């Protein structure tokens, strides 16, 4: 979807550009019914229902200025694909589960607690957090450790803007992100696939890198629940699982955090998890990837780029053996 | 309760089973053709692998079903069901070789040799090939007793398939499905072990009476 900005100086779309919610919902429901009638078996009917449900709640628009310097001009993944193919184990382990189950997440009211080795710890409301710095749109590549990739226009601001506000002390060497783990809102938390809550972490210099994005939206709207609403991190040079979703707590700590995936399978998921075509996952090669929505079945895979193509982060790891610190 | 279908009824049952076993394939093909799955390669690979395993379990369930119900005619369905298991395993393998490796056989071999979960899945598939190839009436006659011995390979193939599934899911610590299907295979194989053990005991007891 192209995000148009009128030249009248306002970031709001013209009223004529907006299809009324009820009109497109009705259209979708009609198409879904027609498709389901024609479908063999129950699969499509189920998907059609899910689709109608997932679209039932309109997402608020978010005005943001495109940061062209940090954006790729590659073809964007469709909003539909980016919101219906998600790893978010709090809502189930199947990639279709989050879109189906995440409607139970309540994203308002929502606060993020910031604590640990900082001079100004705070508990900040999501609406205040959203306005803490000017919102930017950045079109990033996203590479999943499973070997697929997408191109997504995120909305947010550099994580460093938030970090500067809380003034970390000299003891803060790492930052830890803790996701919500509420059984009443997240059916997947009942399973034992991970030790809840989901924890991710970064070294301070990684967290301060301009590419590290505190993210509150995508495709010009607030984040859909299944994509980590209301606030998540996006780190385009690392595998997707490093980007914690639905964050409730940010802690500044002295020692390297025990992160969720690293904790249960440290031989497969390293703490750094930088995209690296030369270091295979133990059970599959990372040398290539499938771009979602591109070319279909017979399209050749793409070569994976070092740091997912974000070479500007290389100095962060100068002198480190990235085979050892994978 | 013994049910003895007439030849005509059996043909009808066979037709129904044929259509049922084909439905998962039709569903996968239809949804992919409609562009519904976000990642069609993953969808085909996982779907065909799942159904190969489910149908393989169905072939292993034929003998216990016969013994518990006395429905001896179900054995007449087994060859067709077994060939469907091979059909889905073949699609699974083809997806791996074609869509994942773009028919780069050298790259496929590297993966097979380097990654145990693929090694195991590959062996299970290769072992299925002679079973499918010897499923004709002529081969059954030609091989005689050795046909039955050859087809006992399924007792090795099923655990290999489970191990392949288990290791694949181990990457995400997601064992729910492998536990379910591992248990199904374990029960179906344990029944055989129990039967052969009790048969051996009966034979031994009969032997000791005679001596």
Rounded CA gap, A197 and A185, in Å? 13
pLDDT tens per residue across span B2-22: 678 899 999 999 999 999 999
Q: What is the pLDDT of residue A200?
A: 98
Report the CATH number of the B7-193 domain. Answer: 1.20.120
Q: What is the pLDDT of residue A57?
A: 67
Residue A47, Cβ density class (10 Å: 0-12 exposed, 13-18 middle, ≥19 buried): buried
pLDDT tens per residue across span A197-223: 999 999 999 999 999 999 999 999 999
Q: What is the pLDDT of residue A25?
A: 53
Rounded CA gap, B98 and A156, in Å? 40
Distance from CA of B16 to the nearest CA of A (A): 16
In a domain, A51, yes or no: yes
- What mean pLDDT is reported for chain A? 88
A152 closest CA partner among A137, A166, A171, A139: A139
In a domain, A211, yes or no: yes
In the predicted model, is pLDDT for residue A232 greater than 70?
yes
Binding residues of A for Mo-molybdopterin: 86, 89-90, 144, 179, 227, 232, 243-245
A117 closest CA partner among A159, A150, A166: A166
Give mean pLDDT, residues A76-98: 96
What are the extents of the domains in chain B?
Answer: 7-193
Rounded CA gap, B133 and B114, in Å? 28
pLDDT bucket at A141, cuts 50 / 70 / 90: very high
- Binary contact (B36, A284; C-beta < 8 A): no
Q: Which residues pair with A202 in a beta bridge?
A: A175
In a domain, A322, yes or no: no
Give mean pLDDT, residues B170-184: 90
Threshold 0.90, pTM exceeds: no
Flag whether residue B20 sits within 8 Å of chain A, measured between CB atoms: no
In the predicted model, is pLDDT for residue A117 greater than 50?
yes
Q: What is the pLDDT of residue A10?
A: 46
Q: What is the pLDDT of residue B1?
A: 56
pLDDT tens per residue across span B25-40: 999 999 999 989 999 9
CB-CB: which of B35, B42, B115 is closest to A284? B115
Residue A294 sits in which domain range? 15-317
- Classify the C-alpha dihedral A210-A215-A217-A222 as positive or negative: negative
In the predicted model, is pLDDT for residue A40 greater than 50?
no
Looking at B136-175, list the stretches that DSSP marks H as alpha helix, in order from N- to C-terminal side.
Answer: 137-143, 145-151, 154-170
In the predicted model, is pLDDT for residue A179 greater than 50?
yes
Query: Which residues on B lie below 8 Å from A191 (Cβ)?
Result: 176
pLDDT tens per residue across span B149-176: 999 999 999 999 999 999 998 877 789 9
Q: What is the pLDDT of residue B100?
A: 85
How many structural domains compose chain A? 1
Query: Which residues on B lie below 8 Å from A290 (Cβ)?
Result: 39, 41
Computed on alpha carbons and rounded to an integer, the radius of gyration of chain A in Å comes to 20
Candidate from A108-112, A283-287, B50-54 with smallest mean pLDDT: A283-287
Q: What is the pLDDT of residue A37?
A: 45
B2 closest CA partner among B67, B86, B95: B67
Q: What is the pLDDT of residue A193?
A: 87
Residue A299 belongs to domain with CATH number: 3.90.420.10
pLDDT tens per residue across span B118-130: 999 999 999 999 9
pLDDT bucket at A192, cuts 50 / 70 / 90: confident
- Binary contact (A301, B117; C-beta < 8 A): no
Specify whether the CB–CB gap between A99 and A168 falls below 8 A: no
In the predicted model, is pLDDT for residue A15 greater than 60?
no
CB contact set of A303 (below 8 Å; sequence gap of 6+): A277, A287, A288
In a domain, A137, yes or no: yes
CB-CB: which of A40, A148, A296 is closest to B27? A40
Q: What is the pLDDT of residue B2?
A: 64
Candidate from A236-250, B140-154, B162-176 with smallest mean pLDDT: B162-176
Q: What is the pLDDT of residue A27?
A: 53
Q: What is the pLDDT of residue A124?
A: 98
Neighbours of A8 (CB within 10 A): 8
In a domain, A212, yes or no: yes
In a domain, A301, yes or no: yes
CB-CB: which of A148, A265, A283 is closest to B39? A148
């Amino acid at each position: 979807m192209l995000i148009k900005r009128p030249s009248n100086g306002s970031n709001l779309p013209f009223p004529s550009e907006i299809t009324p919610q009820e009109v497109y919902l009705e259209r979708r429901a009609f198409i879904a019914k027609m498709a389901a009638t024609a479908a063999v078996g129950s699969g499509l009917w189920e998907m059609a229902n899910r689709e109608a449900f997932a679209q039932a709640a309109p997402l608020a628009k978010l005005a943001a200025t495109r940061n062209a310097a940090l954006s790729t001009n590659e073809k964007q993944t469709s909003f539909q694909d980016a919101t219906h193919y998600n790893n978010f184990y709090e809502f189930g382990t199947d990639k279709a589960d989050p879109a189906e189950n995440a409607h139970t997440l309540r994203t308002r009211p929502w606060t993020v607690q910031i604590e640990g080795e900082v001079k100004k710890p705070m508990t900040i409301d999501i609406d205040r957090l959203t306005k803490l710095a000017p919102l930017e749109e950045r079109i990033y590549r996203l590479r999943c450790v499973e070997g697929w990739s997408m191109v997504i226009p995120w909305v947010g601001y550099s994580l460093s803007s938030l970090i500067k506000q809380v003034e970390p002390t000299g003891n803060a060497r790492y930052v830890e992100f803790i996701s919500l783990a509420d059984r009443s809102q997240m059916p997947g938390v009942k399973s034992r696939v991970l030790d809840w809550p989901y924890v991710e972490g970064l070294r301070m210099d990684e967290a301060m890198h301009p590419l590290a994005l505190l993210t509150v939206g995508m495709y010009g709207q607030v984040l859909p629940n299944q994509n980590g609403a209301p606030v998540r991190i996006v780190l385009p040079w690392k595998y997707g699982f490093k980007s914690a979703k639905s964050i409730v707590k940010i802690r500044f700590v002295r020692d390297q955090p025990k992160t969720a995936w690293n904790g249960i399978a440290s031989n497969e998921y390293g703490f750094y998890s930088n995209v690296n075509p030369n270091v295979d996952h133990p059970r599959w090669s990372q040398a290539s990837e499938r771009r979602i929505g591109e070319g279909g079945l017979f399209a050749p895979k793409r070569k994976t780029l070092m740091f997912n193509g974000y070479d500007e982060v290389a100095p962060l790891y100068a002198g480190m053996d990235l085979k050892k610190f994978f | 309760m013994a049910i003895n279908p007439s030849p005509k009824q059996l043909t009808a049952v066979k037709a129904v089973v044929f259509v049922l076993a084909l439905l998962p394939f039709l569903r996968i093909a239809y949804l992919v053709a409609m562009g519904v799955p976000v990642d069609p390669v993953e969808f085909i690979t996982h779907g065909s692998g799942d159904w190969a395993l489910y149908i393989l379990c169905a072939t292993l369930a034929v003998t216990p079903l016969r013994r518990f119900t006395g429905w001896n005619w179900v054995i007449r369905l087994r060859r067709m069901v077994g060939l469907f298991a091979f059909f889905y395993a073949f699609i699974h393998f083809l997806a791996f070789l074609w869509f994942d490796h773009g028919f780069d056989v050298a790259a496929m071999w590297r993966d097979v040799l380097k990654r145990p979960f693929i090694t195991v899945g590959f062996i299970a598939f290769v072992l299925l090939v002679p079973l499918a190839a010897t499923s004709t009436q002529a081969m059954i006659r030609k091989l005689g007793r050795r046909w039955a011995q050859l087809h006992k390979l399924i007792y090795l193939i099923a655990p290999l398939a489970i191990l392949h599934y288990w290791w694949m899911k181990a990457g995400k610590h997601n064992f729910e499905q492998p536990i379910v299907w591992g248990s199904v295979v374990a029960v179906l194989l344990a029944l055989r072990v129990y039967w052969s053990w009790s048969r051996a005991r009966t034979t031994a007891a009969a032997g000791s009476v005679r001596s």
